[in-house]
Amino acid sequence: MEGADRERTEAGFKVRTPVAEARRILSDAVRERGDDVPCGTETVDVARADGRVLAAPVTAARNVPHYQRAAMDGYAVRAADTFGASERSPEVVRIVEPDASDEEHATADRIEPGTAARVHTGSALPEGADAVVMIERVTERESLGELEVEDALAEGENVAPVGEDVAEGQRLYEAGHRLRPSDLGLLRSAGYGQVAVAQRPTVGVIPTGEELVAGDPDPGEVIETNGLTVSRLAQRWGARATYRDVVTDDPESLRVAIQRDLTKDVVVTTGGSSVGERDLLPEVIDDLGEVLVHGVGLKPGHPVCLGIVEDTPVLALPGYPVACIINAVQFLRPTLRWLEGTTPDPHPTTQARLERKIPSEPGTRTFARVRLEARDEDDLDRDEPAYTAIPTRASGSGVLSSVALADGWVVVDDDREGIPAGETVAVENWEINP
């Protein structure tokens, strides 16, 4: 073993950067590009913009509705013609029929004083009308072409005015808003066929390790799973991920693989990030650029290395599967958000009563995987959580099933020495939302 390798291995991680501080350092490096949207912007059709992040504020290009419309089925009238009308003393008006030659419109275009026209919910109000009487409050005299109105109406009654939903020029969304299906409908109705959004960040995912194989492992070989998992997580988080072939533990091969993907917005490697003889990535990253953080106060997964090479974030994630996933959630997910010009939303949580104690070291943020079990409602007090959180494992970063078969994890903050049994905890459902 060379002297530098021996020194690195023996030193271990005497100082581990707190998670929040490591995230801040990485965020500053990403935002040093100086752009509001570091990964760039593009214009897309509104119909294809679900889940995309707006690159600029959006204001309504037109009123919604852009015409006065009937708020219910009935008859459009002049409110003045209904003055004094009641069930015992109805006002009588003449029914105006629509133009028989106009098959597209079932409503007359105009009414004169003393007349009414049939309208349906959403119909344009005929010119001259200023109110709608409900169908339930009239009696039709079809043979005479007349209508008995049993309600006295105020001007504007049962009428949706121009701009009732959205007014032209109204601010709808700020830059950084992630679009939902309901937003797409509003954008289209407000006059938008296309919208400017952040480009989807690109990610190169490079699994490393000479022991990794695609399938049918011999003794000492391991099926590659980290690269697959991380690339699919990145896609779920809105990125375009390229899942590379395994790169062996060789400095030059690792260097070439990282340099190849510097065209991406982020480079992620898995494995080889610790301080052992075969953990070469921290030195390779430092050779190519700068190591920002090496060793973070989280468990499992402290041997993570965060660097920057030619303005591109390079995240070297640990090789143990659980540690790899936890670090991807803690560092890759927020990096993708920063590149879009946003910040990560908190994960949805489920309140649960902890069945067994979760141990933790002071100064270390622990991620304890748990499964949820519904409690018997008859045994619950009024304010008790409806679930029990049963730890699967609080340690064991190589046991992938402890994450895959769990319902989430409980985060033990850096300043706590574990969580006692019986405490109500928040179970982070980290796989639910992007």
99 vs 73, 103, 104, 190, CA distance in Å?
19, 8, 10, 30
- Residue 259: its H or E element: helix 251-260
Tokens of 270: 């898995």
d(CA 35, CA 55): 11
What is the model's pTM? Answer: 0.83
Q: Which long-range contacts (CB under 8 A, 24 or more apart) does 176-183 make?
A: 176/53, 176/54, 176/340, 176/341, 176/342, 177/53, 177/54, 178/51, 178/52, 178/53, 178/54, 178/342, 179/49, 179/50, 179/51, 179/52, 179/53, 179/54, 180/50, 180/51, 181/50
DSSP string computed for 306-318: EEEETTEEEEEE-
Chain centre to alpha carbon of residue 270: 25
Contact 139, 145 (CB under 8 A): no
Name the CA dihedral angle for 331, 334, 335, 340, rounded to a multiple of 10 degrees. 170
Q: How confident is the prediction along the chain (434 residues), in pLDDT tens digits per residue? A: 344 443 444 346 778 999 999 999 999 999 887 777 888 999 999 999 999 999 999 999 999 999 999 999 999 999 999 999 998 999 999 999 876 555 544 578 899 999 999 999 999 999 999 999 999 999 998 778 899 999 999 999 999 999 999 999 999 999 999 999 999 999 999 999 999 999 999 999 999 999 988 888 888 888 899 999 999 999 999 999 999 999 999 999 999 999 999 999 999 999 999 888 888 999 999 999 999 999 999 999 999 999 999 999 999 999 999 999 999 999 999 999 999 999 999 999 999 999 999 999 888 999 999 999 998 887 777 788 999 999 986 555 656 777 778 999 999 999 999 999 999 999 999 987 66
- 147 three-state secondary structure: strand
CA 277, 361, 407 angle in degrees (round to 5)?
A: 90
Instruction: Identify any residues that bridge with 312 across adjacent strands, giving them in sequence order.
Output: 309
Crossing angle (nearest 10°) for helices 281-288 and 251-260? 50
Residues in Cβ contact with 177 at an 8 Å cutoff, skipping those fewer than 6 apart = 53, 54, 183
By residue count, the chain amounts to 434
